[in-house]
Structure 1
Amino acid sequence: MQMQASQTQRIDKWLWYARITKSRTLAQKLAVSGHIRLNKDKVSAASQQVKPGDVLVITREGRQKIVKVLLPGTRRGPAPEAQTLYEDLTPPPDLKAPAKVAERDHGAGRPTKRDRRQLQQLKRQDGLL
């Protein structure tokens, strides 16, 4: 029975030990935010238990990271040690897809250099400069 309990671990601790998040507090927030799926089920609590063989889908900043839990963590060690806790199943990024270019309405945001020069020219003509 003790062996079974040592093979499971809280998801927030595991995320921190595996260096998925920078702090345990951030791991707790990520767990309760609903951005993690454990074996296709949404995680709603930081106390959710993970065990070897579980698959986590972590969505952050519009990107997904898919990891398979290999071992429970015992400490937050260096990065090479943390990488032994999981297998990264994330597919490589599609390099053939065109990069998204931010678009905005004309006149919205900061003026371009050309726009600034035209404004200065108008102000000079009106005697404001």
Structure 2
Amino acid sequence: MAAEAEIVSQRIDKWLWAARFFKTRPLAVEAINGGHVHINKERVKPSRNVRPGDEIRITKGFETWVITVKGLNEQRRPASEARLLYEESEHHREQRAAVIEERRLHGVNIRVKKPGKHERRLIDQIKRSW
């Protein structure tokens, strides 16, 4: 058998899945087709190959990652190993953290949950008292 050849390029949808930016490849394809993924400042298709050294901009919800590809992996590995596939600059990491903090301060990310049984009864009592 031939020796295992090192990967020099990989499809962007498969790389995003392996690097754990998306839970499934179809979700990665949907984001790419929606224009939320750019390689070297160009909009791409899911079949576009990514190579080490490429800059990728990923927009997911209100968060944006600007990362540099450091490695390729055919399989989805644990998160600790997936973090080795890319590098995010300190400037972009701080920018993303600032956006998250600003949204938190303005109450945008507060999760609203349905009232429980006890809370519903209290709400009903207040309504009846009016």
Task: Normalising by structure 1, report the TM-score.
Answer: 0.69
Shift of 1:120: 5.3
Q: Give the fraction of aligned pairs with identical amino acids, expressed as a percent.
A: 33
Aligned residues: 105
Match of 1:22 in 2: 23
TM-fit CA distance, 1:118: 7.3
Q: Pick from 88, 102, 106: which aligns with 1:100?
A: 106
Q: CA-to-partner distance for each residue in 1:9-51, whole Å, 9 max, x for gaps? A: 10000001111110111111111110011111112x1101110
Structure 1 residues 82 and 119, CA, compared in 2 at 3 Å: closer, same or farther? same
Q: Please say if residues 14 and 74 of structure 2, whose CA atoms lie closer than 8 Å, have aligned partners that are also in contact.
A: no
Counterpart residue number, 1:60:
60
Question: Runs in 1 of length 4+ with deviation above 4 angstroms?
Answer: 95-98, 116-120
C-alpha RMSD over aligned residues: 2.6
- 5 Å-filtered alignment, 1:71-86, equals 71-86=71-86
Give the gaps of 5 or more residues in structure 2: 1-5, 109-121
Deviations 1:92-128 (A, max 9, x none): 22287582246xxxxxxxxxx99x957853xxxxxxx
User: TM-score normalized by structure 2?
Assistant: 0.68
CA distance in 1, matches of 2:24, 2:101: 35
Which sections of structure 1, spanning at least 5 residues, go unmatched?
103-112, 122-129
